[in-house]
């Protein structure tokens, strides 16, 4: 067919650009990077563009329905959907054999396939039984402040300067310049499209199309002149990486927002918010302090909270940073937004997060530039690749391994350490040591898998676009995934910590302190899922629970938590930093619960309820919010360098009066002053949740906070719904 190549360019532009790139003069170590940039450039030359004037901004260019083989410019993964090849062959039967050949060529470089295919069988098993997993891509926060300030022309000048310093790395810098040109190309094409649409546009649409065209005559090459142009530039770049997390939005956009017309800038913000929601933007961060303790809230900060209240969407994920000098206005505005029931903003404490980051060697000038990514992971805005997330392990699974000599109670294979039969441990200290060894073992497994996958990503899927917009890469002449960013620390998350703590407390009391039950009987009861062991079940399931300010349980919590967090910090990442620890359960907690056997805290095999944060197991705290926070504060939260989620649920009427609102603010301030790192709040009626289970059609817009993000309650699976319902509902 004469037009075969045109068809291929229209349908598979990235693949064609990647295959046809001329790398004759590119050093071998940079050819993959250059091909990726060439693929991105070709993709931007040939993708079908669309502008809806009602959106106000052109984009998103990275999301189009017929893309096929692609490369995610954010996390840098080669991939295609399972049904893409089938769809191609069905829609273009005359090219079916060629499609099969093309997809076969790219199948062997699919990053997800390479990573998964190189894990050992035992690593796959631990992943499938929800003991642990590891990763190497994650989310990222490009330096949008630098991009807006310099434009692509300014970044080219930066590349030119460091090309002279880092001799012998021309192939790397050629790839970066090609990646920049891809953004320029799609900006130019959008401008041409806006101008072409003008003659047939309505008067209202013509105004917007003209603004888009005018903006794109300046950006992305140059710095924007006003907030509309800043939004157009930001959205073009943000969607270019398939959307992720905006980072410290109210900081890098404030210089364009504050001088602009108040009505027009807010309307721009409203339209941008709609786009954030439509693309399920991960995490937008506002507020905070600088290294001198000065508050950074500004008009844009408060207008972001205002627009969140106005739309009441479950996305974008919104986080707000607080500190000891945060004004009352900031606390009040955040509380008013939480009162809408959207579960946002999540609030973070600079006075704990920043020292934690500084303990990794990050200077205060940069620790105070932290922002949130994904659900709630911590990043240094524009200067880091910190995993987000690198992996996760189940603390309750480590306890299971200690009780059954390494045998997993989901598939009954030995997947943990063989630390000995539980009945042979002479005292609690011996058993605890075995449990902590299992914890260390699972952390080691996460580190091993994560570092292995990090190396694969660095070799197989370099990321020239991110290397342009993350500081350190151009300066060093090194890729974003291969030691380029200034900070390369890692983040491992936990599941089931409170379940393990409650179980340890009951074991210590009934097996070792009082001797009421033999360990052998407990093990048999767990194997039998407590059937025939009703007395044992009653005692173990009702013993002291974490979250009630009870000294013996809280002491175990502090020891276990501190041990895990400290141990992770001894492990190095491939990227050139150290692993930190945190807790962000996303939507996984119920599935982790299902993959556990019976536990000594009374959890039965197959039950989905599992501790979803650093707080108590849902429903197990009965002594009120102050007691619960006192328990959580027993651990050293200055050790947490990833998001360390604490979930709380408040009754709606708590936020309906001045007195109730003030009580919440006082509680949050006290928690932060005493060393708490974060709070994520649900404001919801228990009756409404129960009715939503029974009558989902009546509650389509009911939003809840899950485990680092907000979601529509009726769209969650039943296990997650049960976890949320069981959370203790607070009030004063």
Give residue-wise pLDDT tens across range 142-177: 999 999 999 999 999 999 999 999 999 999 999 999
The arithmetic mean of pLDDT across residues 237-254, rounded, is: 91
At 619-653, the pLDDT tens digits run 898 898 899 999 999 999 999 999 898 988 888 88
Report the distance separating Cα 268 and Cα 144, nearest Å: 18
For residue 15, the SS3 value is helix
Q: Which residues contact 533 (CB under 8 A, 6 or more apart)?
A: 521, 524, 525
Name the percent of the chain lying above pLDDT 70: 94
Rg of the Cα atoms in the chain:
26
Report the distance separating Cα 627 and Cα 612, nearest Å: 18
Q: Give residue 687's pLDDT.
A: 79
CA 231 to chain centre: 23
Whether 183 shows a pLDDT value over 80: the answer reads yes
Q: In this predicted structure, which of 23-37, 232-246, 516-530, 681-695 has the lowest mean pLDDT?
A: 681-695
β-bridge mates for residue 71, sequence order: 78
Q: Which residue has the tokens 């898998």?
A: 449
Q: Are 332 and 661 in contact (CB under 8 A)?
A: yes
Q: Give residue 397's pLDDT.
A: 98
Do you know the residue count of the chain? Answer: 732
Report the distance separating Cα 731 and Cα 46, nearest Å: 57
Q: Give residue 143's pLDDT.
A: 97
β-bridge mates for residue 320, sequence order: 286, 347
Whether 62 shows a pLDDT value over 90: the answer reads no
Closest CA to 620 of 439, 497, 438: 497
Report the distance separating Cα 74 and Cα 282, nearest Å: 12
Q: Give residue 117's pLDDT.
A: 78
Whether 64 shows a pLDDT value over 60: the answer reads no
The arithmetic mean of pLDDT across residues 517-525, rounded, is: 98
Higher pLDDT pick, 107 / 570: 570
Query: Six-digit token pair at 90?
Result: 């069905």
Report the distance separating Cα 537 and Cα 503, nearest Å: 12
Q: Is the dihedral of CA 470, 471, 472, 473 positive or negative?
A: positive
Q: Give residue 718's pLDDT.
A: 78
Q: Give residue 619's pLDDT.
A: 86
H helix or E strand, kind and range, residue 393: strand 391-394
Under DSSP, the state recorded for 696 is G
Query: Six-digit token pair at 278?
Result: 């439509």
Please spell the DSSP secondary structure of 449-489, one letter per residue: HHHHHHHHHHHH---HHHHHHSTTHHHHT--TTTT-SSB--
Whether 116 shows a pLDDT value over 80: the answer reads no
The arithmetic mean of pLDDT across residues 370-389, rounded, is: 90
For residue 295, the SS3 value is strand
Q: Are 285 and 311 in contact (CB under 8 A)?
A: no
Distances (CA, A) of 217 to 189, 194, 204, 206, 211: 11, 11, 21, 16, 10
Q: How confident is the model at residue 705 (pLDDT cuts 50, 70, 90)?
A: low
Higher pLDDT pick, 683 / 116: 683
pTM score of the predicted model: 0.92
Q: How confident is the model at residue 612 (pLDDT cuts 50, 70, 90)?
A: confident
Q: Are 110 and 457 in contact (CB under 8 A)?
A: no
Query: Six-digit token pair at 633?
Result: 């504060």
Query: How many Cα neighbours within 13 Å face the side chain of 277?
Result: 16
Q: Give residue 140's pLDDT.
A: 82
Report the distance separating Cα 148 and Cα 620, nearest Å: 49
Whether 223 shows a pLDDT value over 70: the answer reads yes
Whether 313 shows a pLDDT value over 50: the answer reads yes
Q: Are 78 and 15 in contact (CB under 8 A)?
A: no
Which pairs with CB-CB distance under 8 Å and at least 24 residues apart come from 557-560? Answer: 557/497, 557/498, 557/501, 557/631, 557/634, 557/635, 558/634, 558/635, 558/636, 560/395, 560/436, 560/439, 560/497, 560/500, 560/501, 560/504
Query: Six-digit token pair at 158?
Result: 């930066």
Q: Are 181 and 220 in contact (CB under 8 A)?
A: no
Whether 194 shows a pLDDT value over 80: the answer reads yes
Whether 258 shows a pLDDT value over 70: the answer reads yes
Whether 242 shows a pLDDT value over 80: the answer reads no
Q: Are 283 and 245 in contact (CB under 8 A)?
A: yes
Query: How many Cα neighbours within 13 Å face the side chain of 379?
Result: 35
Closest CA to 680 of 701, 704, 662: 704
Angle formed by the axes of helices 497-507 and 551-568, to 10°? 130
Q: In this predicted structure, which of 98-102, 283-287, 412-416 has the lowest mean pLDDT?
A: 98-102
At 547-604, the pLDDT tens digits run 999 999 999 999 999 999 999 999 999 999 999 999 876 678 889 999 999 999 999 9
């Amino acid at each position: 067919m004469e037009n075969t190549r045109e068809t291929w360019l229209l349908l598979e532009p990235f693949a064609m650009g990647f295959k046809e790139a001329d790398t004759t003069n590119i050093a071998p170590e940079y050819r993959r990077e250059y091909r990726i940039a060439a693929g991105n450039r070709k993709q931007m030359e040939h993708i079908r563009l669309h502008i809806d004037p009602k959106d106000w901004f052109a984009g998103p260019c990275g999301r189009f329905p017929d893309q096929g083989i692609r490369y995610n410019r954010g996390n840098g993964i080669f991939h295609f959907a399972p049904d893409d090849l089938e769809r191609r062959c069905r829609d273009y039967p005359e090219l079916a054999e060629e499609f099969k050949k093309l997809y076969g060529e790219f199948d062997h470089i699919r990053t997800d396939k390479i990573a998964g295919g190189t894990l050992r069988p035992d690593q796959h098993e631990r992943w499938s039984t929800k003991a642990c997993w590891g990763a190497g891509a994650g989310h990222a926060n490009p330096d949008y402040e630098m991009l807006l300030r310099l434009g692509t022309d300014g970044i080219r000048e930066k590349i030119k300067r460091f090309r002279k310093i880092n001799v012998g790395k021309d192939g790397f810098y050629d790839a970066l310049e090609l990646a920049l040109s891809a953004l320029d190309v799609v900006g130019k094409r959008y401008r041409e499209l806006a101008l072409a649409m003008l003659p047939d546009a309505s008067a209202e649409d013509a105004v917007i199309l003209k603004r888009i065209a005018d903006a794109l005559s300046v950006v992305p090459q140059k710095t924007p002149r006003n907030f509309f142009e800043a939004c157009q530039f930001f959205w073009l770049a943000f969607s270019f990486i398939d959307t992720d997390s905006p980072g410290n939005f109210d900081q890098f956009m404030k210089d364009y927002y504050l001088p602009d017309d108040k009505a027009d800038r807010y309307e721009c913000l409203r339209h941008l918010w709609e786009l954030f929601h439509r693309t399920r933007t991960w995490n937008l961060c506002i507020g905070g302090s600088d290294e001198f303790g000065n508050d950074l809230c500004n008009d844009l900060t408060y207008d972001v909270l205002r627009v969140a209240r106005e739309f009441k969407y479950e996305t974008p994920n919104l986080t707000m940073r607080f500190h000891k000098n945060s004004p009352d206005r900031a606390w009040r505005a955040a509380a008013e937004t939480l009162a809408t029931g959207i579960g946002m903003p999540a609030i973070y404490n600079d006075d704990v997060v920043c020292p934690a980051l500084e303990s990794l060697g990050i200077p205060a000038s940069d620790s105070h530039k932290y922002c949130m990514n994904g659900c709630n992971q911590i990043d240094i805005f524009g200067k880091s690749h910190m995993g987000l997330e690198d992996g996760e392990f189940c603390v309750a699974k480590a306890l299971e391994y200690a009780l059954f000599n390494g045998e997993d109670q989901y598939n009954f294979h030995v997947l943990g350490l063989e630390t000995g039969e539980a009945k042979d441990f002479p005292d609690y200290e011996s058993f605890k040591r075995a449990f902590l060894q299992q914890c260390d073992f699972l952390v080691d497994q996460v580190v091993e898998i994560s570092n292995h996958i990090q190396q694969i990503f660095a070799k197989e899927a370099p990321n020239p676009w991110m290397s342009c917009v993350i500081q350190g890469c151009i300066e060093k002449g090194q890729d974003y995934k291969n030691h380029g960013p200034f900070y390369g620390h890692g983040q491992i998350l936990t599941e089931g910590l409170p379940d393990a703590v409650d179980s340890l407390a009951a074991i210590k009391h009934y097996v070792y302190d009082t001797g009421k039950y033999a360990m052998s009987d407990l093990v048999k009861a767990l194997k039998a899922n407590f059937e025939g062991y009703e007395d044992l079940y009653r005692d173990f399931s009702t013993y002291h629970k974490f979250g009630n300010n009870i000294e013996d349980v809280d002491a175990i919590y502090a020891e276990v938590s501190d041990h895990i967090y400290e141990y992770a910090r001894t492990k190095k990442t491939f990227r050139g930093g150290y692993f930190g620890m945190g807790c962000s359960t996303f939507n996984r907690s119920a599935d982790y619960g299902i993959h556990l056997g019976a536990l000594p805290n009374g959890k039965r095999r197959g039950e989905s309820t599992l501790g979803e944060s650093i707080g108590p197991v849902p429903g197990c705290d009965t002594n009120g919010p102050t007691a619960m926070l006192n328990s959580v504060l027993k651990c050293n939260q200055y050790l947490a360098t990833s998001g360390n989620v604490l979930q709380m649920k408040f009754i709606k009427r708590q936020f309906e009066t001045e007195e109730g609102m003030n009580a919440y603010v006082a509680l949050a301030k006290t928690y932060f002053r005493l060393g708490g790192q974060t709070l994520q709040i649900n404001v919801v009626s228990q009756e409404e949740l129960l009715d939503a289970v029974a009558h989902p059609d009546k509650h389509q817009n009911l939003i809840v906070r899950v485990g680092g993000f907000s979601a529509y309650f009726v769209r969650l699976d039943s296990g997650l719904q049960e976890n949320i319902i069981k959370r203790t509902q607070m009030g004063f």
